[in-house]
Structure 1
Amino acid sequence: MNRPTLFVEVHILQSLPPSNVNRDDSGTPKQAVYGGARRARVSSQAWKRATRGEYAKQVPEADRATRTKRIAGLLSQRLARPVADGGAGLETGAADRLATALLEPLGITKSAKKDDQSAYLLFFGKRQLDDLVRLLDGRAAELAALSDGDRANEVKKLSVVQTLSTGHPAEVALFGRMVADLPALNVDASVQVAHALSTHAVRTEFDYYTAVDDENTDDHGAGMIGTVEFTSSTLYRYAVLGVHQLRDNLTDADETRRAAVRFVDAFTRSMPTGHQNSFAHRTLPHLVLLTVRTGQPVNLVSAYEEPVTGVTGLAAESVVRLADELKAVGETWGDKPLRTLATYTTEGDKITEVFGPSLPFPALLDSVGTLVGQWLADGEIAPAGTTEAGAR
């Protein structure tokens, strides 16, 4: 029997002014050749990082996740806290020894270069560290006082791996976790994010700048001279959320619905921060299109295989191209989305026909929350026109 699936796809068209939001090792804005033309590119890693940061603004600090090599230090801090504050009340040395022992079953070894860091990054929830402290059941001082060998043997009896394999925060449930040395800790990501590409060809430009020495009254020369590379572009951004995988990772239907809505909100509003102080490139999209499917997701970047030329404006033409591509894919492959929700500023009968009427963005979030909640409760999506007002 096939596993029921539900995918919420997010298609975004967004124009950036002169900017360098994601650069390579030489400082050049990242680019890619697509359709024989050089395009501006923002890596999926950069936009996932920005989305995580935006998502974190919506949840309490204690419910957030962190990705770090400093898990031993964070766990040691928890163990050193007073018992009344959720810690174990250990002195620093004992806390360090016990933290090291607790992490041993995870195969987390110290970095060869820095003793206070692990050899690799680990993505985990902050509450999971508190769960590790509770796992000790008041025996922290007893275990810390044992010899290294005896302490290791006692820790092996504790469900350390299971503790970090359950109770994931939404960020881990969304973006997943991969631990090569201990597959039991792996979490399948419920979100995939594509590299953002410009819908048109771009050319890198250079900003030549000078800085003046305010205290220099001897001559009129610059105190500093430099250049910053930049591009400007209209980007097509795409991400897909597997609601079924998110539910499996979180195990709670209400939290799954909330996380799905928060992800759409965070992905839409997020922006990588490269050279942000120099270019102030914070913009909002021209179009946010959600397509809901139970079958294979479809990235619609093929709409821009032939670069947009901007006869009537890059953004407006890009929106029309996307509408044409969504319609063509549905007619050619018989693969029309179950639902289409959109927020946009470009007017046109074709756009309204394909995307439906433009919803205020808060209403779009309410609608996707309703659809996800309906699927989680009933295992299916009702026909278009029968949804109820949702709640975030």
Structure 2
Amino acid sequence: MTQPTLFVEVHILQSLPPSNTNRDDSGTPKQALYGGARRARVSSQAWKRATRMEFAKAIEPADRATRTKRIAALLAERLTQPPAEGGTGLDTPQADRLATALLEPLGITKSSKKEEQSAYLLFFGKRQLDALVKSLNGRATELAALSDSDLKAEVAKLPVVATLSTGHPAEVALFGRMVADLPTLNVDAAVQVAHALSTHAVRTEFDYYTAVDDENTEDHGAGMIGTVEFNSSTLYRYATLGIHQLRDNLTSTDETRDTAVRFVDAFTRSMPTGHQNSFAHRTLPHLVLITLRTDQPVNLVSAYEEPVVGVSGLATESAVRLADELKNVAATWGATPASILAAYNIEADKLTEQLGPSMAFPDLLDSLGALIGQWLTDGHLTTAGA
């Protein structure tokens, strides 16, 4: 029997002033050709990290996830802490040796450049390291005294892989984890994020700047001269969250609902920080459209295959295009969302006709939580067509 699915899609229109939020290796704002026109682009990786950082603000530090090559050093640090603080009290050499032995079953190899680091980034929860220390059952001193061969044999009996395969924090449950050397540690991501694209064609510009030497009173020349590239854009941003996958990763119904709502909030409010001090480009969206589907996700970027030209303003025209595309996709393919929620600050009759009246964003989040909770409990949604 096919598992029931629920996808929460987030469609966002957001205008950025002059900015360089995500640049390539030459310092140029990232771009892409779409519909024969050059568009501003912000990579999915950049916005996923920004979302993860925003999401983590509401989480206690001990409950957060981290993505690092320094798992051995973090585990050794845990082992050296006093037992009253959750550690084992080992000295540093013993802790380093035991941490290395504990991580060996994970197939984690050392970096060729830095001996204290693993060869790849590992995404895990800080509580999972605590659980790994607890799995020693007070035997840390005993294990540290064993020979290398005996230590390896004893560690093989411990649930090291199982400990890091369960009890995932919300961040790992959302964004997933891929470990090529040990597939049993993999976590299927519940979230997919598209590259943000401008709804219109863009042109890169250059800011010529100078810096004054405050202590130089002998001449009026600049202490430094340079240029930075930038553009301005109205972006279409898209992400989809599989509630069924998130539930499988977290197991708890309440935690699944709360995590989903917090993800939508974090994705909406997040902003990549490239050249943030230079441009202060942090804005909030013009429109947030939430579509819930039980069949498959639908990215509506095709609304902008023909670039918006902005006769009545880029934001307004982009919003109307998005509403039209939602309606056309439903009419052509029968892909009508099970439910629609929208928050927007654009005056356009067509938006109200096709998306319904605008909701305050906090109310949108409350309504979304109620719909997700209904599906998790009853397995169905109250249908609201576009």
Give the TM-score range, shorter chain: over 0.9
Unaligned segments of structure 2, at least 5 residues: none
After TM superposition, the structure 1 = structure 2 runs for residues 170-319 of structure 1, keeping only pairs within 5 Å, are 170-319=170-319
Say if 2:11 is the partner of 1:8: no
For residues 102 and 96 of structure 2, the distance between their equivalents in structure 1, rounded to whole angstroms, comes to: 10
Note the C-alpha offset of 1:384.
4.0
Percent sequence identity over matched residues?
79
The CA deviation string for residues 343-375 of structure 1, in whole angstroms up to 9 with x for no partner, is 000122210111111000000000110011111
Note the C-alpha offset of 1:383.
3.4
Q: Normalising by structure 2, report the TM-score.
A: 0.99
Say if 2:24 is the partner of 1:24: yes
Say if 2:34 is the partner of 1:34: yes
For residues 384 and 279 of structure 2, the distance between their equivalents in structure 1, rounded to whole angstroms, comes to: 42
Aligned match of 2:92? 92
For residues 238 and 5 of structure 2, the distance between their equivalents in structure 1, rounded to whole angstroms, comes to: 19
Say if 2:61 is the partner of 1:61: yes
Say if 2:46 is the partner of 1:46: yes
SS of the equivalent of 1:324 reads helix
SS of the equivalent of 2:263 reads helix
Q: Normalising by structure 1, report the TM-score.
A: 0.97
SS of the equivalent of 1:45 reads helix
Aligned match of 2:161? 161
For residues 205 and 78 of structure 1, the distance between their equivalents in structure 2, rounded to whole angstroms, comes to: 50
Note the C-alpha offset of 1:149.
1.2
The CA deviation string for residues 164-193 of structure 1, in whole angstroms up to 9 with x for no partner, is 000000000000000000000000000000
User: 1:29 corresponds to which letter in structure 2?
Assistant: P
SS of the equivalent of 1:143 reads helix
User: 1:46 corresponds to which letter in structure 2?
Assistant: A
Instruction: Compare 299-308 and 58-67 and name the one that shifted more.
Output: 58-67
Aligned match of 1:390? none
Count residues in correspondence. 385
Residue 337 of structure 2 contacts residue 384 of structure 2 at CA under 8 Å; is this kept in 1? no
Note the C-alpha offset of 1:382.
2.3
For residues 162 and 258 of structure 1, the distance between their equivalents in structure 2, rounded to whole angstroms, comes to: 25
For residues 347 and 224 of structure 2, the distance between their equivalents in structure 1, rounded to whole angstroms, comes to: 47
For residues 175 and 277 of structure 1, the distance between their equivalents in structure 2, rounded to whole angstroms, comes to: 28
For residues 382 and 339 of structure 2, the distance between their equivalents in structure 1, rounded to whole angstroms, comes to: 10
Aligned match of 2:81? 81
Aligned match of 2:146? 146
Residue 7 of structure 2 contacts residue 243 of structure 2 at CA under 8 Å; is this kept in 1? yes
Aligned match of 1:389? none
Aligned match of 2:102? 102
For residues 349 and 199 of structure 2, the distance between their equivalents in structure 1, rounded to whole angstroms, comes to: 22
Unaligned segments of structure 1, at least 5 residues: 386-392
For residues 366 and 384 of structure 1, the distance between their equivalents in structure 2, rounded to whole angstroms, comes to: 17
For residues 73 and 79 of structure 1, the distance between their equivalents in structure 2, rounded to whole angstroms, comes to: 10
Residue 21 of structure 2 contacts residue 272 of structure 2 at CA under 8 Å; is this kept in 1? yes
User: 2:339 corresponds to which letter in structure 1?
Assistant: R
For residues 155 and 369 of structure 1, the distance between their equivalents in structure 2, rounded to whole angstroms, comes to: 43
